[in-house]
Amino acid sequence: MRSRKGRVTRVLTLTAGLLGGAVAALVLACLMATWIITLVVEARYPPAGRRVTVESGHLAVIEAGPGEGAPSRGTVVLLHGASANAMDPMLAIGRRLAGDGFRVLSFDRPGFGYSDRIAPDAASPAVQARLIAEALAAMKIGPALIVGHSWSGALATALALDHPERVAGLALLAPVSHPWPGGDVGGYAGWYRSLPGRILLRIATYTVAAPLGYAYLDRFAEVVFRPQGLPEGYLDGARVPLILRPSTFGANLRDLDGLYGFLQQQSPRYPTITAPTVIVAGDVDPVVKTEIHARALAREVPGAKLVVLPGVGHMLQYVAADRVVAEIEALAARERAE
């Protein structure tokens, strides 16, 4: 009897050891895969612009159009959404605006692309607005047209509210602007905010996130472009794989997690925005609901113009680039007239 129990104990111990070894080997393999993917991604997509010094770090910016001091139709600052980088809006509309005579600056938001995360509280759009305003001041950029897509709807409006001297006008594309139903996860759904949840997410960020993301990145992008299709060459042209690096992936998660609470505080201030504003959104946006955000924002910002594009989804700067560029140019003309 003792011999049988001893054999069972040895078998269980051996099984547990094998399982533990297999898990350790899998974690190690994922860590190695993440490291390799990071190296490959950064080699394929090196810095494309310059870095501007701000307090405690640097912000990366891609520039196009007339240079500093050259005649131009004005300066346009492009601010990308979640899971993106400065090349995304530059590819969509930035180069076209530059060709039309505008000086175009597209920033990597803090922690994205090749910008430093800089501040421990950089998930806040208000903190990112302060850093971008500081970068614009360092570049001697006066009031500029600020174009914010999706997540950066909150950032662009924070710039207009907190740093109005840097904002000549706002062009908000499918902007996130208001708290949305179910956005405050709370309760059991907020498990990831607990200590065990944060630990598990951190482990996932440095192990499985990059390999899984690399394998399914095109499918994730297709969802964002619905109901339109994914443009050929988008992932490579917009340098989307940069989001897979652990530091950037983690920054993206923190930005998204804190957005709802931030908008609860900021949204009552929209009636005090004084910058000329145009809001462009698609009526079938599956990501940022136009009724909750764009329409509500247009009602609250004094004098705001709302353009709702029928049959268009979230990535309107790509699928409706002609209309978006036309609205930005009209905003520039309106600002000059005023």
| Mean pLDDT in consecutive groups of 10 residues from the start of the chain, 338 residues | 57 52 70 94 96 96 88 95 98 97 98 96 97 97 96 98 98 97 60 73 88 93 96 97 96 94 97 98 97 98 98 98 98 80
- Is cis: bond before 227, omega within 30 of 0? yes
pLDDT tens-digit readout, 114-131: 999 999 999 999 999 999
Cβ proximity of 251 and 112 under 8 Å:
yes
Considering the domain architecture, whether residues 5 and 138 belong to the same structural domain is answered as no
Considering the domain architecture, whether residues 13 and 119 belong to the same structural domain is answered as no
The pLDDT, as a whole number, for residue 331 is: 97
- Beta-carbon contacts of residue 179 (< 8 Å; ≥ 6 apart): 260, 263, 264, 267
Domain boundary among 9, 24, 44: 44
The tally of domains found in the chain comes to 2
Q: Where residue 246 sits, what CATH number does that domain have?
A: 3.40.50.1820
Considering the domain architecture, whether residues 10 and 70 belong to the same structural domain is answered as no
Considering the domain architecture, whether residues 19 and 106 belong to the same structural domain is answered as no
Considering the domain architecture, whether residues 55 and 5 belong to the same structural domain is answered as no
The pLDDT, as a whole number, for residue 190 is: 57
Considering the domain architecture, whether residues 214 and 102 belong to the same structural domain is answered as yes
Segments forming the whole domain that contains residue 200: 50-337
Considering the domain architecture, whether residues 27 and 168 belong to the same structural domain is answered as no
Considering the domain architecture, whether residues 37 and 58 belong to the same structural domain is answered as no
Considering the domain architecture, whether residues 31 and 146 belong to the same structural domain is answered as no
Considering the domain architecture, whether residues 180 and 283 belong to the same structural domain is answered as yes
Considering the domain architecture, whether residues 211 and 300 belong to the same structural domain is answered as yes
Considering the domain architecture, whether residues 14 and 100 belong to the same structural domain is answered as no
The pLDDT, as a whole number, for residue 183 is: 76
